Structure 1
Amino acid sequence: MSRRALTLLIAGFLVLALGVVGAFRPVPYVVLSPGPTENTIGEVDKKPVITIKGRQTYPTSGALSLVTVAYQGGPAAQIDLLTALRGWIDPTVAVVPQETIFAPDRDPKEVEQENTVEMTNSQDSATAAALNELKIPYSTVVTVVSTEKGKPAEGKLAKDDEIIAVDGRPAKNVDVVSEAVKAHKPGENVLFTVTRGGKKLDVTVPTVAGPKGQTLVGVLMQAKYKFPFDVEINVGDVGGPSAGMMFSLGIVDKLTPGELTGGKKIAGTGTIEPSGQVGAIGGIAQKMVGARKSGASIFLTPADNCAEATKAVPDGLRLVKADTLHDAVLALDALRTGKGNVPACEAG
């Protein structure tokens, strides 16, 4: 073998070796793919996804499925270049920079915990939205989450205090409490009426000026709902708020006579506010693929996701636009009966 041929052979081997080694080097990307779907009027691990106690429920049929996105990669388990390349050529998945999913200064475990909290809050909001849709009254309680160290509320208000009133005005929601405090000048006192351990207490808390001159006492609050019956939602390891609308629809279906789906397999996504407003979500393309794989023919789509969704909708999946929970209920009624308007997603 000539020296030239030997040189070319060695060079080719080195290039191949470097290519193989490079293919398995970790890269800061995350692969997003269609995740599992769960029927909100069905079961997970032989347990109903939605259980309602203390109120009459009705039979359901078909499916009202939430959809999810699975991810591979992240700071703790980076994918290799070869996996990323496979993802880039697969139209059903997305490869995105790692920082779009995991903020550089965030612990992945913290993100997962936040997703769990968001899912819990989403379930409460979904129940509230469903009851609002059905005009079933419930009450809202403002509770103390924590007090800020060194601020006036520390040592005066306590975690889990239920704020009944501020300066004698009913504390209907967190905004009412915040505005009542801001109505004072820094240095003035605020009278909180709270329930603590089953006892009603009046607590006087001084105010101070915040960094922008606003009046504050240093308390973190959140709204908790008191529903007239129990609604339990079981979804296993699913996290995040994007299943809110589908939870609401499942609750509405169980609480009303007749079958909301008409026996069809329907999937969808979207966050939900207690008012019934449906919000946009991420990973719409992967969620639509998962929905179609599960057998769904109808996909309820947040209005703000419609433009993106129409560019990647799988064959056989009909996109139905949902601005609000009420819109979604009316659309399902129209699909079932053949009467009424079914709003379609339009390309942006």
Structure 2
Amino acid sequence: MRRRSLPAMPGLGRPRIRHNGPVTTTEASTPAPAAGAPSTRRSTVMSIAGLATSALIALLTVVPSPYAIGSPGPTFDTLGTADGVELVEIKGAPTYMSSGELRLTTVSVQRAGSLPFSIGRVLAAWASQSEYVVPQESVYGTAEEEEEAQEQAAQEWISSQESATVSALEALGHPVPATLRIVGASERSNAADLVETDDVIVAVDGEDVETFTDLVDAVGDREAGDDIAVTVVRDGEQITETFATLDDGAGAAVMGLYIDPEFELPIDVTVGIEKVGGPSAGMMFSLGIMDRLTEEDELQGALVAGTGTIDATGDVGAIGGIRMKLIGARDAGAEWFLAPVENCAEVSGNIPDGLNVVAVDTLDDAYEAITRIGAGDTADLPGC
């Protein structure tokens, strides 16, 4: 995600006020000691306490803190431009302009190593409604772990763009062919000893599977524990193996195989943001692609923000930092926000004034929502 530096905040202390005349107080007064009288024990203790407080305030102001601070990051219109470059550039198909905005939201995370801030700054962030504080290690870990996390986020960003393109095309009725290559099997899979790495799945129960969605639907049509017959191509020959499916832990059937689909995209989609990582912008990219590929002006001038992962089948998944993203959407002028159903528990009670949240579970849900928002038909849109 794009990082934004925030200025360090000074320590919190009471301002000193100069009085030119007598001071009136509602508290009981204590007679002042006579001129030249020795200091009382109370005045000595208070002086020491005052010095200690001043020292503590100074310490809070300058001592670095091993915490990370999260805040709303910038938003980007997937129908617009960033730094003069189209955010989503599509080649290989006609595209159409939109009168509205589809803004992906981000979270900016700072740590003491990249932007020195004090314990006082951390306390101020902890008390703020628009920031959050976590131990630095829980976000970054060691230097090696941070580098690995950044590489993973970059890879997830690339994969998210591909999934966004595939799901958008298929949602518009354009199936995307794929080579369904097996890259591994879980130890629990009943097919672990039957298939090999680089086998390509071509049929399930005798029916051809040409897209990743075909495969997902074929497996999802059965109960966990049911047998499934999978045909693969290995060294130029077709081989069919039959084995029992597994329970994914939520009652759904899975094969326990790891598939790396190689999609044959009919269009070329280029995303013009470099310093954003992770998969959470996937749904908003899918919506941007769908809007650009259709003549209909779905938004009709509306500004809609949102977040959510997307897979190649159009399923919208949960993300992190949604409370900050809600604030960022409000600050960007959005009146509507699309949130994954799985995030509703965190959304509830944290919606900024003036922002309306629509809960979505699939890309179809999200596309219907922006179309209805544009048409002003919002009375029964599902919320959190």
TM-score by length of 1: 0.75
For residue 326 of structure 2, the aligned residue among 279, 284, 288 is: 288
More deviation, 298-307/264-273: 298-307
One-letter code aligned to 2:99: S
Aligned residue for 2:51?
13
For residue 42 of structure 1, the aligned residue among 69, 77, 80 is: 80
1:223 aligns with 2:257: no
More deviation, 320-329/100-109: 100-109
Look up the SS of the partner of 1:26 in the other structure.
coil
- 1:32-181 alignment to 2 at 5 Å? 32-73=70-111, 79-103=117-141, 107-142=145-180, 164=200
Deviation per CA, 1:3-39, whole angstroms, max 9, x where unpaired? Answer: 8556753553244224422443333322110000000
Is the Cα–Cα contact under 8 Å of residues 334 and 342 in structure 1 kept in the other structure? Answer: no
What is the alpha-carbon distance in structure 1 between the residues aligned to residue 365 and residue 73 of structure 2?
Answer: 26
Question: For residues 228 and 166 of structure 1, do their structure 2 counterparts lie closer, same or farther at Cα, with a shift above 3 Å needed?
Answer: closer
Look up the SS of the partner of 2:74 in the other structure.
strand
More deviation, 18-27/61-70: 18-27
- 1:299-318 alignment to 2 at 5 Å? 299-318=337-356
Aligned residue for 2:30?
none
Question: For residues 13 and 142 of structure 1, do their structure 2 counterparts lie closer, same or farther at Cα, with a shift above 3 Å needed?
Answer: same
What is the CA RMSD across the aligned residues, in angstroms? 3.6
One-letter code aligned to 1:285: R
> How far has the Cα of 1:56 moved from its partner?
1.1
Question: For residues 283 and 126 of structure 1, do their structure 2 counterparts lie closer, same or farther at Cα, with a shift above 3 Å needed?
Answer: same
More deviation, 304-313/46-55: 304-313
Is the Cα–Cα contact under 8 Å of residues 62 and 263 in structure 1 kept in the other structure? Answer: yes
Look up the SS of the partner of 2:106 in the other structure.
strand
What is the alpha-carbon distance in structure 2 between the residues aligned to residue 288 and residue 8 of structure 1?
Answer: 46
For these two proteins, the number of residue pairs brought into alignment is 302
Is the Cα–Cα contact under 8 Å of residues 59 and 258 in structure 1 kept in the other structure? Answer: no
One-letter code aligned to 2:176: Y
> How far has the Cα of 1:78 moved from its partner?
6.6
Question: For residues 341 and 125 of structure 1, do their structure 2 counterparts lie closer, same or farther at Cα, with a shift above 3 Å needed?
Answer: farther
> How far has the Cα of 1:293 moved from its partner?
1.0
Aligned residue for 2:284?
246
One-letter code aligned to 2:272: N
> How far has the Cα of 1:193 moved from its partner?
4.3
One-letter code aligned to 1:259: D
Question: For residues 220 and 138 of structure 1, do their structure 2 counterparts lie closer, same or farther at Cα, with a shift above 3 Å needed?
Answer: closer
What is the alpha-carbon distance in structure 1 between the residues aligned to residue 127 and residue 379 of structure 2?
Answer: 38
Larger Rg: 2
More deviation, 233-242/245-254: 233-242
**Unaligned residue ranges in structure 1 (runs of 5+):** 147-156, 180-190, 195-200, 203-218
Higher strand share: 1
**Unaligned residue ranges in structure 2 (runs of 5+):** 1-37, 185-195, 220-231, 238-256
One-letter code aligned to 2:80: G
Aligned residue for 2:336?
298
Look up the SS of the partner of 1:286 in the other structure.
helix
For residue 260 of structure 1, the aligned residue among 298, 318, 322 is: 298
Is the Cα–Cα contact under 8 Å of residues 181 and 200 in structure 2 kept in the other structure? Answer: no
Question: For residues 59 and 80 of structure 1, do their structure 2 counterparts lie closer, same or farther at Cα, with a shift above 3 Å needed?
Answer: same
Aligned residue for 2:67?
29
Is the Cα–Cα contact under 8 Å of residues 72 and 79 in structure 1 kept in the other structure? Answer: no
Look up the SS of the partner of 1:282 in the other structure.
coil
For residue 358 of structure 2, the aligned residue among 297, 306, 320 is: 320
Is the Cα–Cα contact under 8 Å of residues 165 and 192 in structure 1 kept in the other structure? Answer: yes
One-letter code aligned to 1:21: L
What is the alpha-carbon distance in structure 1 between the residues aligned to residue 102 and residue 126 of structure 2?
Answer: 31
